[in-house]
Amino acid sequence: MSSEPNGPDEFDRPRADADATPCGYTEYDTKERTTEEVPATGEGADGLEREVWAALYEVEDPEMPVSVVDLGLIYGLELDDGAATIDMTLTYSGCPAREIILEDVEQAAESVDGVDEAEVRLVWAPDWSLDLVTEQGKEALREFGISVER
Amino acid sequence: MATSRSDLGAPDELSDRERRAVEAQLFRLADDEYVQAERYTFWQVRAPTLESDLAVANNAQDELGHARLWYDAIQQLGYSEESLLWESEPDDFQHSTLVELPFSEGEWGDAVLRGYLYDVAEEIRLAALEESTYREIRERTSRIQGEEDYHVEHAENWLRRMADDEEASRRVQAALDRLYPYALTLFEPVSDGQGDGDNGDVEQDIVDLGIRDATLAEMREEWETRTTAFLTDLGFEVPADAEPVTPTGRDNEHTQHWHDLHAEMVSSYRNLGRHEATTLMDDE
């Protein structure tokens, strides 16, 4: 290096544009929601329900090492005498992994002692967006290399 | 726009009249998206830039995803994927003939303009479905709108660039003259399945029951105003007094191009002797 390094006060480090988003066509805004009911994450669940949530946490998106629960895709879980019904959405309507994810979720729920059958109901409202991802999920996405605002 | 009409309820709660109107709305949504996606695939390996290859492929995937959402809603009414697609006949479909026309190699202007004409109509239609009294339509509409946002923008950007080039704008103008009467079929009434040639009731029911809150004529007028303003501003000449061509597609009658595409579409299923649509995770 031929020139002296700048001192810390002089060094004009480039700063990210506060309004910049990584992709102009991806919305990173937090939407106003009329309901606070989604996603469901199993917080506060106990007994058999807690065990089912633990099993669902083990299911990862086939394309990213992040739990479908942390992605905010699970909208509800109902248990009725050994039958589990899971309301779930997907990140994208054209998701080619749809059958794989749904099957994984049903199998995970059925792997729990006390659950005889599980059914996933696909729902499309309210819209899924990045702000439904849990803090833990955002951390996992960042580790995977996806830019998510803090 | 808010409607005081009551919610139609779950798929199994519909009266015969409601069900007929819901189906008439759903079939055109599903078939339009599905066939538009099938034709887009032609350009995936022929678009003028790598970025356009990706954009077209992505549009096709969006439309296929939306078609799947609409076919799912139709399946809630008792239909199967097999009967809807793989074991169907060409004249089961009610998509507009605009989306079934084949592309010619080199006619990128056709692809861009067709996307523009279609996606503006799609935006107008989805806006009229936002407050639908049928929940399965309402909820899907909101989801799909989020994914359609950039389709029109993509087409408009290309049209602006092409308008600046003499050869390109000549080709776009030729495509406009050719495609406009086909695009108008998007706003034609569907056959109501009664086979009596009287299709008026089901279209009126769609609006009276609050399934969609704009008539076909209102949507056509909005579409003509919007597309004419944009295209005229770029120096293109929109055909005056154009009328929809026949067959319209909506009446289950199609051009030979659709019969050919349909045969391709079902060929693997038929060649393999399939009787059901299998999925990746089938256990048996």
| The pLDDT value given to residue A38 | 86
CATH numeric code, A47-144: 3.30.300.130
Average pLDDT over residues B67-76: 97
Region of B190 on the Ramachandran plot (φ > 0 left; ψ -120 to 50 alpha; else beta) = beta
| The pLDDT value given to residue B193 | 56
Per-residue DSSP letter, B130: T
CB contacts < 8 A (A, B)? 42
* Total number of domains in chain B: 1
Are residues B139 and A124, on separate chains, in Cβ contact within 8 Å?
yes
Distance in Å, alpha carbon of B49 to nearest chain A alpha carbon: 19
Residue A122 with chain B: CB contacts under 8 Å: 72
Choice between B124 and A149, residue whose per-residue pLDDT is larger: B124
Are residues B143 and A95, on separate chains, in Cβ contact within 8 Å?
no
Compute the mean pLDDT over every residue in chain A, rounded to the nearest whole number.
82
pLDDT band at B148 (very low <50, low <70, confident <90, very high): confident
| Cβ–Cβ under 8 Å, residues B249 and B185 | yes
CA distance A55 to A69: 10
Is B3 within the bounds of a domain? no
pLDDT digits (tens, 9 = 90+) for B153-171: 999 999 999 999 999 999 9
Q: Which domain holds residue B188?
A: 14-271
| The pLDDT value given to residue B61 | 95
Q: Which of B66, B138, B149 sits opposite A93 (nearest CB)?
A: B66
Compute the mean pLDDT over every residue in chain B, rounded to the nearest whole number.
92
- Complex prediction ipTM: 0.78
| The pLDDT value given to residue B158 | 96
| Cβ–Cβ under 8 Å, residues B184 and B220 | yes
pLDDT band at B197 (very low <50, low <70, confident <90, very high): low
Average pLDDT over residues B247-265: 96
Is B257 within the bounds of a domain? yes
CA distance B46 to B112: 13
CA distance B216 to B93: 19
Is B5 within the bounds of a domain? no
Is B234 within the bounds of a domain? yes
What is the rounded end-to-end Cα distance, in angstroms, of chain B?
50
pLDDT digits (tens, 9 = 90+) for A24-70: 555 444 444 444 578 999 888 899 999 999 999 999 998 888 999 99
Is B4 within the bounds of a domain? no
Q: Does B150 touch chain A (CB under 8 A)?
A: yes
Question: Hey, which residues 157-176 in chain B have their CB within 8 Å of chain A?
Answer: none
pLDDT at B137 over 70: yes
pLDDT at A1 over 50: no
Nearest-Cα residue of chain A relative to residue B141? A124
Output the CA angle B26-B156-B176, nearest 5 degrees. 75
Q: Does B144 touch chain A (CB under 8 A)?
A: yes
Average pLDDT over residues A76-81: 95
pLDDT band at B194 (very low <50, low <70, confident <90, very high): low
Indicate which CATH number applies to the domain containing B239. 1.20.1260.10
